[in-house]
Amino acid sequence: MLYSMYEFNRIAMTPWRAAANATRRTLRAPWNPVGETMAGRTIAAAAELFESVTRRYAKPEWMIDSTQINERCVGVSEEIVWSKPWCDLLHFERDHDALLAARGNDTPDPKVLFIAPMSGHYATLLRGTVEAFLPDHEVYITDWADARTVPVIDGRFDLDDFVAYVREMITLLGPDVHVVAVCQPGPPTLGAISLMAQDNDPARPASMTFMGSPIDTRLSPTVPNKLAEEKPFDWFSGNLIHTVPAPNPGAFRRVYPGFLQLAGFMNMNLDRHVDAHWNFFTHLVEGDGDSAEKHRTFYDEYLAVMDLSEEFYLQTISDVFQEHKLARGEQAHHGRLVDPSKIVDVALLTVEGENDDISGIGQTQAAHTLCSGLEEGLRMDWIQPDVGHYGVFNGRRFRENIAPKMKAFMREQGAAALARR
């Protein structure tokens, strides 16, 4: 019922959004002198603010069509190299001729597979992460499907399926790939690589990096962690799971709606978001186009959300945040126990943010304790000062401090891990 009410409200607001858009465009038209007055700028700013806060934001585009290599522009195109109903594996393919001209040689670059979060936002949240690695890596990333777009006939998708998907993609890319799990995918990705190690799978990756991941949420619990602990499982299943209404392609599928997760995250920092929108309004009135555009860029991404399947969300709540199965050595995949201690030749890097209010310090480091079979020369931990959760994988400090460390680790420890096989 809640989802249907949300859809009804969104549709009911359509004519008001259209009117707000028409008002804004009329007042900002170059032929309209009223647009240059204080009253005109104020009304236009209010109209844009109204439209922006009542809109459903579509899945963002990647908008990565080139990268700079040795001060030369190299074209980039998106290519789907693997696909299943719940995920596409994207490859950001660089133009071969332009790459050869920029480099002067045809030496292949390391392959890196980014496992994007399946936690409400689209994979494009990692746009900056991808851009940082494109000049010197073959970049692949998971593009998870919005549950409301997946027809019921395509079946269920739970945490075990997530593990299976990750393993299939690693196998496709081969043993020299470097896997990077950002936030939520940490536990299932570690599970997938553990199973590959247990099977002595020749396709197991050269290295694995976990960034701000909830490997063990008993350590330095944050507000979201405490909520998951304090509320009984029945509260999540009874209050947060709703049915996708028609005419969405995934109609009648039971999901955790993205708009509910977005509301929860915004309430965690409500004052900050209110201030940001007020500042956006004042920037529009004052004609500060650069600041207004920065706001649009951030919120066009932040407010674009996707639904999660009921079974995936509830299993994640239960296994990761309430029962801590992986951390306790109790995680199973289709009945088979997952044992990270069997990993002996996959280099391990963990990255955390000093001010992370989603995954507290120590939660990602826990991977080192679980991977007890790894020797010290194949492991590294890094805590980045002065960054929160988002800053772990995006922004200036990521580009200048974290990404170079990751690349050096992949190059050196990753090669050392492969040499041990």
Contact 355, 388 (CB under 8 A): yes
Residue 314 has pLDDT above 90, yes or no: yes
Sign of CA dihedral 251, 256, 262, 267: positive
Q: Which of 281, 302, 323 lies at the terminal end of a domain, its last residue?
A: 302
Q: Would you call the peptide bond into 247 cis, given omega within 30 degrees of 0 as the criterion?
A: yes
Closest CA to 410 of 366, 364, 348: 348
Contacts of 245 (CB under 8 A, 6+ apart): 3, 4, 7, 251
For residue 30, the model assigns a pLDDT of 86
CB atoms closer than 10 angstroms to residue 127 = 18
Q: What is the mean pLDDT of residues 72-85?
A: 96
Task: Evaluate whether residue 251 is within a structural domain.
Answer: no
Distance CA 7, CA 248 (A): 10
* Residue 286's pLDDT band (cuts 50, 70, 90): confident
Distance CA 82, CA 89 (A): 5
Q: What is the mean pLDDT of residues 300-327?
A: 95
Distance CA 89, CA 81 (A): 6
CA 23 distance to own-chain centroid: 35
Q: What is the mean pLDDT of residues 5-11?
A: 86
Q: Residue 29 corresponds to which tokens in the numbers above?
A: 């038209």
* Residue 323's pLDDT band (cuts 50, 70, 90): very high
Same domain as 72, residue 31: no
Q: Residue 386 corresponds to which tokens in the numbers above?
A: 């002065």
Q: Residue 128 corresponds to which tokens in the numbers above?
A: 């900056």
Task: Enumerate long-range contacts of 56-59, CB under 8 Å, 24 or more apart.
Answer: 56/10, 57/300, 57/303, 57/304, 57/305, 58/304, 59/122, 59/124, 59/146, 59/304, 59/306
Residue 268 has pLDDT above 80, yes or no: no
Task: Evaluate whether residue 261 is within a structural domain.
Answer: no
Task: Evaluate whether residue 243 is within a structural domain.
Answer: no
Task: Evaluate whether residue 80 is within a structural domain.
Answer: yes
Distance CA 144, CA 181 (A): 13
Residue 35 has pLDDT above 80, yes or no: no
Same domain as 71, residue 179: yes
Q: What is the mean pLDDT of residues 101-119?
A: 91
* Residue 284's pLDDT band (cuts 50, 70, 90): confident
Pairing outcome for strands 347-353 and 379-384: parallel
Residue 334 has pLDDT above 90, yes or no: yes
Lowest model confidence (mean pLDDT) among 6-10, 162-166, 311-315: 6-10
Same domain as 117, residue 91: yes
Same domain as 138, residue 203: yes
Contact 123, 61 (CB under 8 A): no
Tell me how many domains the chain contains. 2
pLDDT in tens, 177-231: 999 999 999 999 999 999 999 999 999 999 999 999 999 999 998 988 988 888 8
Q: Is the pTM of this model over 0.85?
A: yes
Distance CA 398, CA 392 (A): 6
Residue 1 has pLDDT above 80, yes or no: no
Distance CA 42, CA 23 (A): 11
Q: Residue 62 corresponds to which tokens in the numbers above?
A: 């990647």
For residue 243, the model assigns a pLDDT of 95
* Residue 380's pLDDT band (cuts 50, 70, 90): very high
Task: Evaluate whether residue 136 is within a structural domain.
Answer: yes
* Residue 29's pLDDT band (cuts 50, 70, 90): confident
Residue 290 has pLDDT above 90, yes or no: no
* Residue 171's pLDDT band (cuts 50, 70, 90): very high
Lowest model confidence (mean pLDDT) among 111-120, 191-200, 284-293, 329-338: 284-293
Same domain as 339, residue 284: no
Q: What is the mean pLDDT of residues 264-276?
A: 85
Contact 91, 139 (CB under 8 A): yes
Task: Evaluate whether residue 414 is within a structural domain.
Answer: yes
Same domain as 213, residue 77: yes
State whether residue 221 is helix, strand or coil: coil
Same domain as 31, residue 173: no
* Residue 235's pLDDT band (cuts 50, 70, 90): very high
CATH number for position 139: 3.40.50.1820
Task: Evaluate whether residue 244 is within a structural domain.
Answer: no
Q: Output 380 or 24, whichever has higher pLDDT.
A: 380
For residue 260, the model assigns a pLDDT of 92
* Domain limits for position 228: 66-233+311-419
For Cα atoms 72, 75, 81, give the angle at the middle one, nearest 5 degrees. Answer: 140
Same domain as 326, residue 217: yes
Task: Evaluate whether residue 262 is within a structural domain.
Answer: no
For residue 20, the model assigns a pLDDT of 84
